[in-house]
A and B are shown apart, each in its own frame.
Chain A
């Protein structure tokens, strides 16, 4: 018994080492969203392309929605932009999923120019220059993408760029599930 106790500090140090080593590879920015499973918050903002047109939550709810938070100041948004275009133009996907943008903490003119230059994958972009919709959504930065089901419930929040790999791993299974849920009339 005494001999085992003698090795206890060594065992504890090794255990601590394992825990801390694991901590090195964790991403501290990878936060679970408190909003998953909750109804999308209300808002009333203009669209990016038309400052006189007001859109609200009612304009989004009903379809399976991808809500992509983007900005011209965000380099990662530029990286994911081509893949968003692919999603928006995919003949099968575009009938099942609607992609909307939230232009987050940005200026109207440069953002409009960005979409004109890189092409516009969004049904429309909500112009959230003060970031208040972003705050309601619990956004940390850009890019972030939310999956909202046909009842207007937030089903997923993803922080970071979307590419083929991320799409297949993080989004495709959920989108398929939501499509069957919608078809079954749940």
Chain B
């Protein structure tokens, strides 16, 4: 029993180690004067997208352009540029595409508001469908006036059928 538990523990820890090692960034060394700059570097390199390998951020990617951009990002931070300035600069070179969270503009309205609009349209459709059913039910139920009319019609129908029956009987006799 104990060996089995140990075995499972070993497997889980080794799995975790594997997961961690695949998340490791490409090897480069940057020295930062303070922790704030370091954190900003890490945040920005996660926020900026690698132009070549389009589903990776700068921190993840091993491509040449990503390593050049990391170096450039480092230089800009050392020069004391603000986050907003750096982002503007990157967008100026590579377009909105470099941002993982594109800014709200006429180009990205569909991206930002499209999902909300679709949910809204869906809700309207659901509402319309739900509202339609009770109307059909009410139409199936007759109001008092209509019921009176129905009774009358039924009664008349009985009379006529009786009448036609008696006519037929008479005809048979003759």
Interface residues of chain A, those whose CB is within 8 Å of chain B, are 28-29, 31-35, 38, 71, 73, 104-105, 130-132, 134-141
Contact check, B64 vs A35: say whether CB atoms are below 8 A apart. no
Q: A34-B92, A136-B93, A139-B65 are in contact. List 6 more A-B contacts (CB 8 A).
A: A35-B92, A131-B72, A132-B75, A134-B65, A135-B72, A138-B93
Contact check, A132 vs B64: say whether CB atoms are below 8 A apart. no
Q: Is B62 part of the binding interface, using a Cβ–Cβ cutoff of 8 Å? A: no
Known: A31-B51, A132-B71, A135-B72. A141 touches B95 (CB 8 A): no
Q: How many residues of B contact A (CB 8 A)?
A: 18
Mark each residue of chain B from 27 to 68: 1 if its CB lies under 8 Å from any CB of chain A, else 0.
000000000000000000000000110100000000111011
Q: What is the CA–CA distance of A35 and B67 in the complex, to the nearest angstrom?
A: 21
Q: What is the CA–CA distance of A33 and B51 in the complex, to the nearest angstrom?
A: 11
Q: How far is the CB of A59 from chain B (nearest CB, A)?
A: 22
Q: Using CB atoms, name the residue of chain A closest to B97.
A: A31
Q: What is the CA–CA distance of A38 and B91 in the complex, to the nearest angstrom?
A: 13
Q: How far is the CB of A70 from chain B (nearest CB, A)?
A: 12
Interface residues of chain B, those whose CB is within 8 Å of chain A, are 51-52, 54, 63-65, 67-69, 71-72, 75, 91-95, 97
Q: How far is the CB of B45 from chain A (nearest CB, A)?
A: 13
Partner of B65, one of A33, A34, A135: A135
Q: How far is the CB of A128 from chain B (nearest CB, A)?
A: 9
For residue B69, which residues in chain A have a CB less than 8 angstroms away from its CB? 135
For residue B68, which residues in chain A have a CB less than 8 angstroms away from its CB? 105, 130-132, 134-135
Contact check, A132 vs B72: say whether CB atoms are below 8 A apart. yes
Contact check, A131 vs B67: say whether CB atoms are below 8 A apart. yes
Q: What is the CA–CA distance of A71 and B64 in the complex, to the nearest angstrom?
A: 11
Q: What is the CA–CA distance of A135 and B72 in the complex, to the nearest angstrom?
A: 8
Q: Using CB atoms, name the residue of chain B closest to A134.
A: B68
For residue A34, which residues in chain B have a CB less than 8 angstroms away from its CB? 91-95
For residue A131, which residues in chain B have a CB less than 8 angstroms away from its CB? 64-65, 67-68, 71-72
Contact check, B71 vs A140: say whether CB atoms are below 8 A apart. no
For residue B91, which residues in chain A have a CB less than 8 angstroms away from its CB? 34
